[in-house]
Each structure stands twice: as C-alpha cells, then as structure tokens.
Amino acid sequence: MKVGDLVTYAFQAARWRKGQSRLTQLGQSVDVGLVVETGKYTGNADVKVLWMGPGAAAPYAITQKSDHLRLVDKSLTT
C-alpha cells in the first residue's frame, strides 16, 4: 500500500461484491479510508489511515496493520 490508496477493512470485502442477495446487503455499511502515511508503528502497524466514521465530526487518523486492510479497486466493485 502507498500514500493515496483507498482502503477498506478486509472483513468488509464481501459487502462490496455484486451478486449478493438484496436482503443481505441491507443495513450493512462499508468503511473507506485514505492511506496518508507509511512506516513502522507500535503494534506492528505499518500504515496510517484517515477514516471518517459514522457520527464523527471530523476525519481521524489511526495506525493500522496493512494485513487487515484491502485496497478498494475494480476487483471489489465488479
């Protein structure tokens, strides 16, 4: 991952896929973040991601482990 990539949590990847029944898609949100920095951080994190959570007044940055994230690309949206 590099600065500027859009990412989502790996466990949410299935929510992006087309072909799911409409009933399973209802009520499920998907988080999208922007990679703003890469490096080595405490707890084996290696990227800093800017998230805008539900109800948040402003975006906030959190260090994350890239193994827990997935790039938002055509494979998720097709």
- What pLDDT, on a 0 to 100 scale, did the predictor assign at position 7? 93
Given a cut of 70, whether residue 19 has pLDDT beyond it is no
> What number is the average pLDDT over the span 15-22?
61
| Number of domains into which the chain is organized | 1
Give the per-residue pLDDT at 31: 85
In a domain? residue 1: no
pTM attached to this predicted model: 0.79
Residue 63: inside a domain: yes
* Mean pLDDT score, 16-27: 57
* Tens-place pLDDT, residues 23-78: 455 556 788 899 999 999 999 999 999 998 767 788 899 999 999 999 988 777 66
| Phi, psi torsion values for 5, nearest 5 degrees | -70, 140
Q: Which domain holds residue 43?
A: 6-72
Cross-strand pairs, 63: 48
Is 78 within the bounds of a domain? no
**Quick check: is 60 in a domain?**
yes
Q: Is residue 37 part of a domain?
A: yes
Report phi then psi at 22, rounded to 5. Answer: -60, -35
